Structure 1
Amino acid sequence: MGRPRTPLLDRRRIGAAALTLADEKGALTIPALARALGVAPSALYHHVSGRDEIISLMREELVRTTGADKVWAQPWESGLEDWARTYLSAFAAHPGAVPLLATAPLAEPFMHAMYEKVAALLVSGGFTADKVLPVITALESFVLGSALDLVAPSVMLSDVSRDTAPHLSSVLEHTPADPGRAARAFDIGLRALLTGFRDLLAP
């Protein structure tokens, strides 16, 4: 039959399939990924060295939409907000991958290049060097949690007794229970973070 004109596997396809698998199963294994791609596990090792490199490919897929082509020449507040919202959209589309991507070391040069842009944005905005990484970490932690919240049920608190929790009951009465709950919480949280970051600027 001869060799196929298009290779069955390439690194981009492996990364995309791994993201899909993580979303569907909440986990990633080499045998499961090979089955999803319709190949033997040994075929994957022609393209990747192992699970860590596959997670790196998953990151690369997400980075394509979280800063590779962003315009960074803007004030730090609008730059951070833009980055956070783009980051949120990417992770919300792949919530099953969040635990994998959030706990694996960031050793990839393309990740370093993105963080270099964020660091330059903050330094040029007046943040001292010792504040830059904590600001980035705090923002990312908030975004990752918000991404999971976006795919959670629209009603998270239920069966609250007015007798035992009167204040909470009153709060719930004034809080719409609809799919926009998580998005509104993200907007409020992001505004609070940006306000707090502003207080960290040197006088």
Structure 2
Amino acid sequence: MARPKHSILSPKLIAGAALRLVAKHGDFTIPGVAAALDVHPSSLYHHLPGGRLAIVHRMREELYADIDLGPSLDTTAAPLDRLRLWMRAYRAATARVPAVVPVLVGAPVEDLRTLEIYEALFVILRDAGVPVEQRVACSAMVDAVALGSAIDAGSPVPLWRIDGYELPELRAVGSLGDDEQRAPAGFELGVEAVVAAVARIAAGESVSANR
């Protein structure tokens, strides 16, 4: 039997094509995904009837499919250590396609895989002793650091191009850390800041700014 000319279309293939377009162009379109897969746009709706939003949900599933939640849910480890592991895993997966963050944050989270990841986060916050009414705010703080750092992972190296300018502080610090380790080092500082804030909240201390 003759083999088909093209790969059999599937949600996985569609999501993969969309992720590649986002990595290259910063966004994707239905016609663009169809062209990348050499199919008619209507074929995409057959596999993902929800159109663009359905593709975004499937992109999330693909992006986070390999995250191992086992260490984050290991109750033999301290909750704050588990929080560190969760943040590192989430940031690493997202940083594979830094440009995808604006696409993802513009859509609600509905896919089971990503919901399971956030379920694990709320289990960690519960085990850490964070009051239930403050857990959503804590998750937003975690997102700000993890997703923000994932975007930062796409920054050029070096980041600051200062030749021709009289900027002595930038010149001094740039020579000491404006390299491939700038974004990872900044993320680790952010992780420790989050862990410290969660510990304070769990202890009943206020970390909110005055409103």
**What TM-score comes out, normalization by structure 1 length?**
0.87
Identical aligned residues as a percent: 31
Provide closer, same or farther for how the CA distance between residues 12 and 170 of structure 1 changes in structure 2, counting only shifts above 3 A: closer
CA deviation vs aligned residue, 1:126-167 (integer Å, no higher than 9, x gap): 1110111111111111111111212212333343525xxx6x
* 1-structure distance, mates of 2:45, 2:37: 13
* 2-structure distance, mates of 1:53, 1:121: 29
Q: Map 1:36-47 to 2 at 5 A.
A: 36-47=36-47
Check if 1:61 corresponds to 2:50: no
Q: What letter matches 2:147 in structure 1? A: L
Q: Check the 8 A contact 2:72/2:124 in 1, yes or no.
A: no
* 1-structure distance, mates of 2:112, 2:59: 14
Of the candidates 105, 123, 128, which is equivalent to residue 125 of structure 1? 128
Check if 1:112 corresponds to 2:115: yes
CA deviation vs aligned residue, 1:167-202 (integer Å, no higher than 9, x gap): x34752673222111111111121122112111113
Q: Which secondary structure state, in structure 2, belongs to the residue aligned with residue 200 of structure 1?
A: helix
Shift of 1:46: 1.0
Check if 1:102 corresponds to 2:117: no
* 2-structure distance, mates of 1:71, 1:176: 31
Shift of 1:67: 4.5
Number of aligned residues: 199
* 1-structure distance, mates of 2:25, 2:196: 38
Which residue does 1:139 correspond to in 2? 142
In angstroms, what is the RMSD of aligned CA positions? Answer: 2.4
* 2-structure distance, mates of 1:102, 1:66: 19
CA deviation vs aligned residue, 1:27-74 (integer Å, no higher than 9, x gap): 110000001111110111110120000000000012212345555113
Which residue does 1:26 correspond to in 2? 26
Deviates more, 1:183-192 or 1:168-177: 168-177
**What TM-score comes out, normalization by structure 2 length?**
0.84
Q: Map 1:5-24 to 2 at 5 A.
A: 8-24=8-24
Of the candidates 72, 89, 92, which is equivalent to residue 89 of structure 1? 92
Provide closer, same or farther for how the CA distance between residues 202 and 188 of structure 1 changes in structure 2, counting only shifts above 3 A: closer
Provide closer, same or farther for how the CA distance between residues 182 and 71 of structure 1 changes in structure 2, counting only shifts above 3 A: closer
User: Which structure 2 segments of 5+ residues have no match?
Assistant: 205-211
User: Which structure 1 segments of 5+ residues have no match?
Assistant: none
Q: Check the 8 A contact 1:14/1:54 in 2, yes or no.
A: yes
